[in-house]
């Protein structure tokens, strides 16, 4: 069980769940898949004395409302960005805040900041998917890693994975182990992850992200993505060097898309730096935000 208190608020016409802990400059913590707000549980206690930490469940995930009970392609990155803007407004946070994002959350942050740049003070990304990855997503040797992105778009996928607690454990546990630098990183959290994904709608809710993102993902793989302006907000990227799904070698084009960039590799971490190496993650967040964001 988590010791963090749950909060709920209505934003963009859905009821959103979030954790909020600490005091100081506000940081919005955005998770990926297969995750929910609990992915930040090891980092929050290390930072709560210095920052106001807000960790929502994205639309379709965790305890946040799922307005589409079945498969849908309507859960696009733009919709999730609009959710987050409305979420900040509902909380009365009209001033710029810091964003700490991972995986799906990184897509959402980039979409939000490109549309509403004044809402972001600084950006921190773990293992950041970004347009510069391009065709490399679909290189022949990488196809064995991205198979799940197609499977999640099948109308029967959630029923198969959620057939029983054991099938859910086999499926979700595979990604938590395979994508981590340490395959035991989630051992003490695995049952909480299964509890989450066995709740009605939570598997399909997460899978709907892949249907909503399909068109944009295919365009990237074809090299047909239209040019986007670089993001000018100060940006820090910390990339797990052992991530098999979003590879650290793909950092090479980051400077083309982030003009004020500091980037480095955590060589022993995989996809989930914030869960695998929380002390390192917290220290880098603290250094990046603490030195400039006024209380």
> Which candidate in 31, 102, 152, 271 is catalytic?
271
pLDDT, tens only, 16-51: 999 999 999 999 999 999 999 999 999 999 999 999
Distance CA 185, CA 177 (A): 7
Cα 276 from chain centroid (whole Å): 15
Q: What is the 3-state secondary structure (H, E, C) of 112-136?
A: HHHHCHHHEEEEEEECCCCHHHHHH
* The pLDDT of residue 292: 67
CATH class of 6-290: alpha beta
Cα 67 from chain centroid (whole Å): 20
Calculate the average pLDDT of the chain. Answer: 96
* The pLDDT of residue 2: 58
Confidence grade of residue 159 (pLDDT, cut at 50, 70, 90)? very high
* The pLDDT of residue 295: 44
Distance CA 76, CA 172 (A): 22
pLDDT, tens only, 192-206: 999 999 999 999 999
Sheet of 26-30, strand order: 6-11, 14-22, 52-56, 26-30, 97-102, 120-126, 235-240, 261-266
> Which candidate in 83, 130, 210, 243 is catalytic?
210
Give me the helix-helix angle, 77-90 and 104-115, nearest 10°.
70
pLDDT at 13 over 80: yes
pLDDT at 235 over 60: yes
Mean pLDDT along residues 214-218? 89
CA-based nearest residue to 85, from 125, 30, 130: 30
Mean pLDDT along residues 266-286? 98
Mean pLDDT along residues 260-268? 98
Choice among 62-76, 215-229, 259-273 with the minimum mean pLDDT: 215-229
Supply 174's token pair. 């595979």
pLDDT, tens only, 63-121: 999 999 899 999 999 999 999 999 999 999 999 999 999 999 999 999 999 999 999 99
Active site residue 210: yes
* The pLDDT of residue 1: 45
pLDDT at 177 over 50: yes
Supply 78's token pair. 């733009």
Distance CA 20, CA 245 (A): 30
Query: 141-153: b or e for each residue (b if 16 or more CB lie within 10 Å)?
Result: eeeebeebbeebb
> Which candidate in 103, 107, 171, 243 is catalytic?
103
Residues near 143 by beta carbon (within 8 Å), at least 6 away in sequence: none
CA-based nearest residue to 26, from 87, 77, 80, 82: 87
Alpha-carbon separation of residue 108 from 29, 122, 130 (angstroms) = 11, 15, 11
Q: What are phi and psi of 124, to 5 degrees?
A: -125, 125
What's the whole-model pTM score?
0.96
Distance CA 122, CA 21 (A): 19
Distance CA 205, CA 211 (A): 10
Under a CB-based contact definition with an 8 Å cutoff, are residues 20 and 6 in contact?
no
Distance CA 139, CA 151 (A): 18
Share of the chain above pLDDT 70, in %: 98
* Cβ count near 245 (within 10 Å): 18
* The pLDDT of residue 3: 76
Confidence grade of residue 224 (pLDDT, cut at 50, 70, 90)? confident
pLDDT at 294 over 80: no
Share of the chain above pLDDT 90, in %: 92
């Amino acid at each position: 069980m988590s010791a963090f208190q749950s909060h709920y608020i209505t934003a963009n016409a859905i009821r959103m769940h979030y954790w909020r802990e600490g005091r100081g400059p506000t940081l919005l913590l955005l998770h990926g898949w297969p995750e929910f707000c609990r992915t930040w549980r090891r980092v929050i206690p290390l930072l709560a004395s210095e920052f106001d930490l807000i960790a929502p469940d994205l639309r379709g995930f965790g305890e946040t409302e799922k307005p589409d009970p079945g498969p849908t392609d309507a859960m696009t990155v733009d919709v999730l960005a609009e959710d987050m803007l409305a979420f900040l407004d509902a909380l009365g946070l009209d001033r710029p805040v810091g964003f700490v994002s991972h995986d799906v959350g990184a897509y959402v942050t980039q979409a939000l900041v490109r549309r509403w740049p004044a809402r972001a003070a600084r950006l921190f990304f773990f293992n950041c998917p970004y347009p510069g990855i391009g065709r490399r997503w679909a290189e022949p040797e990488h196809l064995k890693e991205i198979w799940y992105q197609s499977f999640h778009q099948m109308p029967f996928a959630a029923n198969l994975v959620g057939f029983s607690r054991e099938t859910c454990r086999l499926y979700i546990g595979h990604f938590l182990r395979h994508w981590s630098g340490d395959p035991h990183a989630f051992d003490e959290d695995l049952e909480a992850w299964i509890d989450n994904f066995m709740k009605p709608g939570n598997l399909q809710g997460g899978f709907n992200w892949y249907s909503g993102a399909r068109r944009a993902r295919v365009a990237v793989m074809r090299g047909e993505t239209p040019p986007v302006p670089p993001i000018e907000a100060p940006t820090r990227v910390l990339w797990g060097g052992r991530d098999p799904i979003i590879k650290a070698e793909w950092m090479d084009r980051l400077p083309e898309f982030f003009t004020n960039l500091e980037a480095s590799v955590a060589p022993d971490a995989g996809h989930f730096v914030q869960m695998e190496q929380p002390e390192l993650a917290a220290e880098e967040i603290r250094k990046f935000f603490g030195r400039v964001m006024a209380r």
